[in-house]
Amino acid sequence: MGSTGGSTRSAPDAAERVARRRPAGREADGYAEEATALRTGLVREIVAGGGLTDPAWRAAFEEVPRHLFVPYYYEAGDAAAAAAPPGTKTAGAAGAAEAGEVGAAHGTVGYTRLWRDDPHPLRRARWLAGAYADAPLATRVRDGELITSSSQPSLMARMLQALQVRDGDRVLEIGAGTGYNAALLAHRLGDAHVTTLDLDPEITEAARNHLAAAGFRPAVVTGDGARGCPLHAPYDRIIATCAVASIPSAWLGQCRPDALILTPLATGLIALRVADARHAEGHFLAIPAYFVPLRGSGPPPQVPTHGLPSRPLLDDSFRFLLNVAAGHMEPVEALALWEHEGRPGRERYGVTVRGERQWAWLDDPEGAYGWPLGPPGRLEPFRGLSPGAP
C-alpha cells in the first residue's frame, strides 16, 4: 500500500474549510503573522519531499497553527544546551531540581525547555521556529522519560493520507498528544466526525485547551486506548499515534466493515482493512515509524542482536525484521532469512487478525514465514496455519 493513501472523495471547498475552522473561538495570537510564513515554508518542504499530494490535507497543514499546540517543548541532550541562547535553563544530572526543569538522573538524557512566554526574545524566536521545523517535538517528559511528543509533520502527513479518509467518515485517534493531529483531522472532516482518546487526564485536558485555542472542538476523551471509545462508535477509520505490540480486539469491534486501522507496530506502520469484528488484514507501509508505546501496554519486547555482524545492523530493513520477529526468532536465523529472501523491505510484510489469533508475515499470510504478535513465544518462525483456523 502506498503512502499517498489512494483515492478519496472530493475534497471540501474553501468555503467548507473556513466554516470548519470556527475563528471566533480562537484566542488572540501575537505570533499569527510570523507563524503563517513559517507554516508556508514547512508545507513547501513537505511537498518537496513527496508529501501532501492530497489538496485537502495540504490545506489543513497550511491553515492549522501548530505553534498553538506546543506552547512549550523540550530539546534533548548536550547539543540542545549548546545551541540555546545564554541564560537558557537546562536540566542535567546534578542541577535538574534547581533548574525546575526535566531531570536527567542516572545518566539519562537531559532536556532544555523552549516556551512561548520566555522573557528572552531570542529564545521565543527559537521556540517558534522549532514549532514549524519538520521534526518531532518532545512535549511531556517525566523523570527523564519521554511521555508524549508531537510527531514529525512530514510523517503525520504521510499517515493522514494513508488513512484514506472520505467526507463523512468517523475517525478515532488513539493518543491525543498535543491535539494537533486531531485538529488536522477536524479541519478535513469537521469536529463532529473526530474523537481523540488518551489515558492521561492531564494530556486530554491540555489537548482540549489547545484545540479550543485553535478553534476546533472534536470529542476529547480520557480512557484506555486499548479499549477504544465505544461511545462514538462505529468508526470508519482508527489511527494510533502510539505503538502497539498487537492489535486490540476492541478496535476491530468498534469499526464498520471495510474500515481502515493505521497503527505503529514493530517500528513500522501497519494499515489493516477490517472485514468484521474478528477479521482484518493488511500490509506495512514502506516508511519507518518510531512511536512511544501505548501507555499501559507494557514495554516492547527486547530485540536481541547477539551473534550478528555489525554491517546488517546498519540496514533499516534488517532491523525491522528483528523487531517483527522479536521473541520468536533467533537473530542469526533472521539474518539468514533476510539474505535468502533478497533483503525485503517493509512493504513486503503484513499482519493478519483471525479471531483470537494474529500474526505478522512476509509476502503471504499463509506462507512459510510468520510470527505471532503479542508476548514472546518459541524462538522460531511461526510456520503455517492449522486447517480451519478461525
Q: Where are the alpha helices (DSSP H) in the chain?
A: 14-21, 32-48, 55-63, 77-83, 96-99, 121-131, 153-162, 180-189, 201-214, 249-253, 310-313, 316-324, 331-340
Whole-number Å distance between alpha carbons of 171 and 267: 23
Contacts of 282 (CB under 8 A, 6+ apart): 1, 260, 261, 270, 271, 272, 273, 350, 351
- Is residue 355 left, alpha or beta, with left meaning phi > 0 and alpha meaning psi from -120 to 50? left
Q: Is the dihedral of CA 302, 308, 314, 319 positive or negative?
A: negative
Torsion (CA) 178, 183, 186, 188 in degrees, nearest 10: -130
Three-class DSSP category at 193: helix
258: closest CA among 273, 248, 237, 247? 273
Query: Is 151 annotated as catalytic?
Result: yes
Whole-number Å distance between alpha carbons of 106 and 379: 33
Q: Which three cell numbers stand for residue 76?
A: 534533548
- Residue tagged 520566555 (cell numbers): 118
- Residue 187 and residue 64 in contact, taking contact as beta carbons nearer than 8 Å: yes
Q: Which of 169, 158, 224, 226 is nearest to 194 (CA)?
A: 169
Active-site position among 3, 149, 150, 151: 151
3-state secondary structure of 304: coil
Query: Can you tell me the distance from the alpha carbon of 326 to that of 378, in angstroms, rounded to the nearest whole number?
Result: 10
The residues annotated with a catalytic role in the active site are 151
